[in-house]
Chain A
Amino acid sequence: GNSVTQMEGPVTLSEEAFLTINCTYTATGYPSLFWYVQYPGEGLQLLLKATKADDKGSNKGFEATYRKETTSFHLEKGSVQVSDSAVYFCALRGDTGGFKTIFGAGTRLFVKA
């Protein structure tokens, strides 16, 4: 079945550092890929998405490129801020089998001033 694997946290960075959170997936067909973010005390919200190979999703300075050849969707940001401290979830939604969304375990990011 479909699955998502993302790097374990927590990840601790200083402000203005470069961020990468790795995400790889296993799926048949052509799934859509998402990054969701959960800020402290808030609900999950969509950060960005990509729906086909080589698409790049971007939002709030974050980017992720749908790489079918490496089955990856790594999240990157060039310069993190304290306000980026949150839990980040990589997710996959298949185009077959009922469209169930599979989430990764989440990666907690702490950004220090």
Chain B
Amino acid sequence: GAGVSQSPSNKVTEKGKDVELRCDPISGHTALYWYRQRLGQGLEFLIYFQGNSAPDKSGLPSDRFSAERTGESVSTLTIQRTQQEDSAVYLCASSLSGVHSYEQYFGPGTRLTVT
């Protein structure tokens, strides 16, 4: 079946502009995660959605970052007034539920470059 998809695959934007990144999780997966991966570094947790519960926003680095999810489907990550340090690959993952034993399935990522 279809995996996690993300769009766009690449985004180049000028400093100060807003960007919106999209994630389509695997159908039926109630848990959805956003991560940031800077060049040569590990994954940095940003935000986690589980069903209709309040999202865990503890990883968002500043108030310029926000994310929404409509029900158990599409999610968008918005970065306002982008800065050069926002340049990274933004990864989305989904899992069957919030149960801790379930693995996550990752999308291919969106490579964001802020010039």
Interface positions of A (Cβ within 8 A of B)? 31-32, 34, 36, 43-46, 49, 51, 89, 93-95, 98-106
Report yes or no: A100 in contact with B103, Cβ–Cβ below 8 A: no
CA distance A45 to B106 in the complex (A): 7
CA distance A102 to B41 in the complex (A): 14
Q: How far is the CB of B46 from chain A (nearest CB, A)?
A: 11
Chain A residues with CB under 8 Å of B59's CB are: 100
Interface positions of B (Cβ within 8 A of A)? 31, 33, 35, 41-43, 45, 48, 50, 56, 58-59, 91, 93, 98-101, 103-109
Given contacts A51-B100, A100-B56, A106-B43, 4 further A-B contacts (CB under 8 A): A32-B100, A44-B91, A95-B100, A103-B45
Report, nearest first, the 7 A-B pairs whose CB atoms are least far apart: A105-B42, A51-B101, A103-B43, A44-B106, A46-B103, A95-B100, A93-B100
User: Known interface pairs A32-B101, A44-B106. Does A99 touch B50 (Cβ–Cβ under 8 Å)?
Assistant: yes
